Amino acid sequence: MKRTTEKIFAAGLGLVMALAQCGCKAGPSAEPSRSFGPDEVHTDIPDLCSVVASKDGLGEDAIMGTCYSNDETSDAKLMQLVTKHFNAVTLENELKPDCMFGYNNAAPASGSIHKEELNGEQIDVPTLDHSRTDPMLDQLVEWNKKNPKHQIKVRGHVLVWHSQTPEWFFHEGYDKTKDYVSKDEMNKRLEWYIKTVLTYYTGDQSKYKDLFYGFDVVNEAISDATATYRTDTEQGGDKLSDDTHGSKSSWWKVYGSNEFIINAFKFANKYAPASVELYYNDYNECDAKKRGGIIQLINDVKAAEGTRITGFGMQGHYSVNAPSVTQFEEAVRDYAKVVDKVMLTELDIKPSATFDGSDAKLADELNREGDYVAKLYDTAKNLKKEGINFAGITMWGVIDTNSWLQTANNVGGASDGKSKVFPLLFDGSYQAKLTYWAFVDPTKIEPVEGLKRPTMEIKQGTVNIDGEIDDAWKNAEAVTLKIVVQSVAVTCDAKLLWDKDYLYVLFDVKDKDLNDKSSDEWQQDSIEVFIDEDHKKPESYQPDDKQYRINYKNKLSFNGEKCKAENMKSAAKLTDGGYLVEAAFKWTDITPEAGKTIIGLELQVNDATSAGSRSGTLSWADDTGTGYMNPSVLGNAKLV
C-alpha cells in the first residue's frame, strides 16, 4: 500500500511540476481571454500567494496556505492548484496523533510497545508510524529543491488534542480497559511524544528540518459550553471509553487541570528549533465568551516558566452569516494583545442558514460567500497596516467536493453531511470561484446589502403563568413564525404582552414528534426567546442581552449575564399535536414605556428529530441562525 501511494503521489506531483509555473508571479487581474474546458486548471490567472503574500496584501512574508490529505495527492490537477496558488500547506490528518499511531485506535499495533530512553530513564512507548506522512513531505521537499523561488512550507498539526488521540494512550499498559496512568507517568509519555515527533520532523538531523514554519502545540482545549478549559465531563454523546472522542478530554481526566497544556508548550519549546513557531489553535474563536477562555489559556501558558507561544490560530470555520466582520475584527484585536502573531488556520465558509440547496439560488449564495470573504480579507489587510501582526490565511481544503464539510461530523465547525456546501476557493472542476476573486479582484463580486429585520407591536397586559390561557391573551395578536433554517416539521403561532415588570410570551407549537434525548439543550424540542432590552443591536452579548430556552417539559437553559431562572417564570404542557409554553421574563435594565420603548426580539422553535438531534429551527425575524451570538440580527418590537 505504501509503495502504491508513493508511486501515485509521485506521478501526480510530477505532472504538476511539468505544468505549474515556477514562482508566484502575478498574472492578469481579469478573467483569461481564452476559455477553459471543465476540469481544466486555469494557468493564467494570478497565483494567489503572489497577491496575499505581497506588500499590498498581508506582507511579503505572509502565509497563504491550504490543506490536503494523503488520499488527495494522486489528483494531479488538485496538486497543480496547490503548487500554483499556495506557499504553505497543512497536512489534514497525517500529523495528528491517531495517524502517528497508525490508526490503531482500539489498541496499539501488535508488538509495537518497546523501550526508549527519556531523560536517562527507559520507558515503554508505542512505535510511531510515518508511512502516511513522509511521502507527502518528501514530495514537498523535492518541490522546494526544484522551485527555489516558490517555496512551500508546512504547518505541523497537531501535537496535543483531545480528539483523534487513541484512548489507550492514557492508560496503564496502553490498555484502555486498565486504570488511567498517574500525572507523572503521563508527563513522561507527553514529553516522549513531543520530543519524538519534533526531533523527527524538525531536528538538526531531519531531512525535513527546513520545511516547517510552525507547529500547533495544543488544539481546541477550551469548552464551547463553559468558555473555560475543556474537561472530561464535556457535553456530547461521546464517552471516555470510546476509542477516540470528539468532546470529552482524557487529558483533563488524567491531570484535572491545565498542567498538560503548560507542559506541552514547555516540551515543544525544549525540542523545537527557535525558528519553528509554536501555536495554540481553536474554533468558535470569535464568540465573546469563548474568546475570554482562549485568552486566559494563552496568558496561563505565557506566565509559566519555560514555555514559548508564538501565536494563535483562529480556525475560521465560518458561515456567510457568522461571525460578523466586526466580531472577526474585535477578536483579532483582542488576540493580538496577548500573542505576537494571529492568523486564520482552517478557513472554510458554510452557506446561509436559509439556503435551500437549489440551483436557482446558487449564484446568489456564491456571491454572498465571495462578498463575505472579501470583507474578511479587507479587514485583515487594514489590521496589518495598523501594525497588528495578522500573519496569514490557510484554507481548510483545496476543492469544494473534497471538503470535510461534505460529510457528517460533530467537531468544531460541524456539518450534518446533508446540506449543500461549497466552502473553498475552487470548485469540484478545479475552477476558481468568487471566493478566489475575493482575494485577487473583489470588483467581480456584487456587494451584499445588510439584512432588514421586521418590526412588531406588543400590547400591554398581564397574565398568570400557569399554562392556562388567560382572557388577557385574547387581546394579543398572533405572530406566525415562518423563517425556516435547515428543515423543520413544526408550525408555531406566538403571542406577546408586556407590563411594567415582565415581557410575556405564549408559544403554541404543533409538533407530532417530541424528543429531549440529546444532552445538548438546543437539540431538544424547545422554544427560545432572545431579548435585547436597550435595543442597541450589539454584535456580541452585553449585560442586557438574553437568550432564554424552555423545552416542552419546561426544562430551562440560558445565555447571557442576566439571563437567569430568577428572572423568569414559565409553564409548559402537552397539547393535541404539540405543546404550549407560557413564560414571563423580568425587565432587568429598562423601565418600559408605552409608545416609547423598542426592544430587540426574536422568537424561535427548535425541532428535534426522533434520533435526538436538531433538524432545524423556525423563527420570526432572523434568517441567519446566529442570534445566540449576535443580537444585531434580532427583530424589533415596540411596546404600545
pLDDT for res 145 = 97
Q: What backbone torsions phi and psi does residue 554 show, to the nearest 5 degrees?
A: 70, 25
Q: 116 - beta bridge partners?
A: 123
- Closest residue by Cα to residue 381 from 423, 331, 436, 439: 439
Q: What is the DSSP string of 288-328?
A: HHHHHHHHHHHHHHHHSTT----EEEE--EEETTBS-HHHH
Is domain 455-639 given the CATH code 2.60.40.1190 in the classification? yes
pLDDT tens digits, residue range 60-114? 999 999 999 999 999 999 999 999 999 999 999 999 999 999 999 999 999 999 9
Cα dihedral across residues 52, 352, 347, 135: positive or negative: negative
Alpha carbon distance 140, 88 (integer Å): 10
Contacts for 481 with CB less than 8 Å, ≥ 6 apart: 491, 492, 493, 494, 603, 604, 605, 618, 619, 620
Q: What angle do CA 196, 63, 39 make, to 5 degrees?
A: 100
Q: Are strands 568-575 and 114-118 parallel, antiparallel or unpaired?
A: unpaired
Residue 467 grid cell: 399554562
pLDDT tens digits, residue range 506-564? 999 999 999 999 988 999 999 999 999 999 998 889 999 999 999 999 999 999 999 99
Burial class (CB in 10 A: 0-12, 13-18, 19+), 359: exposed
Q: What backbone torsions phi and psi does residue 154 show, to the nearest 5 degrees?
A: -125, 140
Burial class (CB in 10 A: 0-12, 13-18, 19+), 469: middle
List per-block mean pLDDT (blocks of 10 residues) for the chain, which spans 640 residues: 35 42 33 47 93 97 97 96 98 97 97 96 97 97 96 98 97 97 98 98 96 98 94 91 95 98 98 98 94 98 98 96 93 98 97 86 95 97 97 98 88 79 95 97 91 92 92 94 92 97 98 93 96 93 95 95 96 96 97 96 96 92 89 95
SS3 147: coil
Read off the pTM.
0.85
CB atoms within 10 A of CB 390: 24
pLDDT for res 235 = 84
Sorted by where each begins, the domain ranges of the chain are 455-639
Residue 568 grid cell: 423568569
pLDDT for res 38 = 59
Residue 517 grid cell: 434525548
